[in-house]
Amino acid sequence: MTWPGVKRGFHKLYLTRAYYFLIAPAVLIYLVIGFYPFVQTFILSFYTWDGISPHKEFVFFRNYVDILFKNAIWWRSVFNAVIIAGIALVFQNSLALLLAVLVGQRIRRFKGFYRVMFYLPPMLSVIVVGIIWRWILDSNFGILNRGLELMHMGQFARAWLSSPATALGCVTLVICWQGFGNAFLLFLAGLQGIPNSFYEAAEIDGANEFQKFKIVTVPLLASATKIIVILTILGTMQAFGTVLVMTSGGPGYHTEVPVLRIYKEAFESYRFGYATAMSAVLGIILASLSFLQYKIIRKKT
């Protein structure tokens, strides 16, 4: 090997080592803050532990067997989360797409104002949102029931958050209201990447507004839609703060969701090993749903 070749080899080796040296702090932080707690959580799921006592009892798969085959409350919480996710996928994302099309392609004035207003709900604290909506929907002095009475429609007043028939629907509505802004922003970004020439070509071919939306907008938003669908599933299946503040899972577990169930098992029943097993099961469910949804969308597109 010639001397220039040797120099290039040493230089390449030096750069490789420099790269590893530069990323080492980030990798170390991840291992300490992310990977190590994850491993410890998985290990803890095979024990029973109250979170205080130094003694832990190894129970192997007993926690998982109980969750999967004996815990009806857990599966009720998963069912509720699936309902919330399904409604959000259809209602929340349809609303976000409609508003994104209006702001991106139809409204000519005050676009910046509408962008800020529609993205404002996701920026609010879930605790604050939950408290405000709990006050609005309160059966005794809530604005909604009071407004219905003032409009002589008192027969429609309900105990919105205390009735099994309406509690889950109200919580889902609030979650969708706060979450649609994220989908709106992603759809709007996708629309801005579609050239106007595509719409002009479709118009020359005689396409009306709906046809242009169907043959131009929808296919070209496929990439954004994939991301939005996965984020919607992950976000709604992990709903916690809004439900905790508004109903705390009631009445009678009708609004119980998985993360809230995990929280109660850990910090109310002091069954930390059992709660970590629930976390592992939820993680597997979310990963499976995301993978399945991605495969379905990929086939269609």
Does residue 251 carry a pLDDT above 50? Answer: yes
Does residue 1 carry a pLDDT above 50? Answer: no
Q: What tens digit of pLDDT does each residue of 213-223 get?
A: 888 888 899 88
In the chain, the percentage of residues whose pLDDT exceeds 70 is: 93
Q: What is the pLDDT of residue 3?
A: 46
Going by pLDDT thresholds of 50, 70 and 90, the confidence category of residue 170 is very high
User: Which burial class, exposed, middle or buried, applies to 198 when counting CB atoms under 10 A from its CB (0-12, 13-18, 19+)?
Assistant: middle
Q: What is the pLDDT of residue 6?
A: 46
Q: What tens digit of pLDDT does each residue of 105-141 get?
A: 777 777 788 888 888 999 999 999 999 999 999 988 8
Q: What tens digit of pLDDT does each residue of 35-62 get?
A: 888 888 899 999 999 988 888 899 999 9
The verdict on 127 and 16 lying in the same domain is: no
Q: What tens digit of pLDDT does each residue of 75-84 get?
A: 999 999 999 9
220 found inside a domain: yes
The verdict on 80 and 226 lying in the same domain is: yes
Give the pLDDT mean for 251-259.
94
CATH of the domain at 198: 1.10.3720.10
Cα separation of 39 and 33, whole Å? 11
49 found inside a domain: no
Going by pLDDT thresholds of 50, 70 and 90, the confidence category of residue 8 is low
The verdict on 102 and 247 lying in the same domain is: yes
The verdict on 138 and 277 lying in the same domain is: yes
Going by pLDDT thresholds of 50, 70 and 90, the confidence category of residue 272 is very high
Q: What is the pLDDT of residue 23?
A: 83
The verdict on 32 and 73 lying in the same domain is: no
Give the pLDDT mean for 192-208.
85
50 found inside a domain: no
The verdict on 125 and 227 lying in the same domain is: yes
DSSP string over the chain: --HHHHHHHHHHHHHHHHHHHHHHHHHHHHIIIIIHHHHHHHHHTTEE--SS-S--EE-TTHHHHHHHHT-HHHHHHHHHHHHHHHHIIIIIHHHHHHHHHIIIII--S-HHHHHHHHHHHHHS-HHHHHHHHHHHT-TTT-HHHHHHHHTT-GGG---TTT-TTTHHHHHHHHHHHHHHHHHHHHHHHHHHTS-HHHHHHHHHTT--HHHHIIIIIHHHTHHHHHHHHHHHHHHHHT--HHHHHHTTT-STTTT--HHHHHHHHHHTS--HHHHHHHHHHHHHHHHHHHHHHHHHHHHH-
In the chain, the percentage of residues whose pLDDT exceeds 90 is: 53
The verdict on 156 and 289 lying in the same domain is: yes
Q: What is the pLDDT of residue 30?
A: 83
> What is the span of the domain harbouring residue 208?
62-300
171 found inside a domain: yes
51 found inside a domain: no
Return the amino acid letter for 16: T
Give the pLDDT mean for 262-266.
95
When the pLDDT of each residue in the chain is averaged and rounded to a whole number, the result is: 88
Return the amino acid letter for 14: Y
Q: What is the pLDDT of residue 14?
A: 59
Give the pLDDT mean for 167-185.
94
150 found inside a domain: yes
The answer to whether 234 and 259 are in contact (CB under 8 A) is no
- Rg (the chain; Cα; Å): 25
The verdict on 14 and 77 lying in the same domain is: no
8 found inside a domain: yes
The verdict on 11 and 143 lying in the same domain is: no
The total domain count for the chain is 2
Q: What is the pLDDT of residue 177?
A: 94
The verdict on 243 and 104 lying in the same domain is: yes
52 found inside a domain: no
Which of 16-25, 173-182, 283-292 is predicted least confidently?
16-25
- Single pTM value for the model: 0.87
The verdict on 193 and 161 lying in the same domain is: yes
The verdict on 279 and 219 lying in the same domain is: yes
Q: What is the pLDDT of residue 292?
A: 84
Which of 20-29, 177-186, 210-219 is predicted least confidently?
20-29
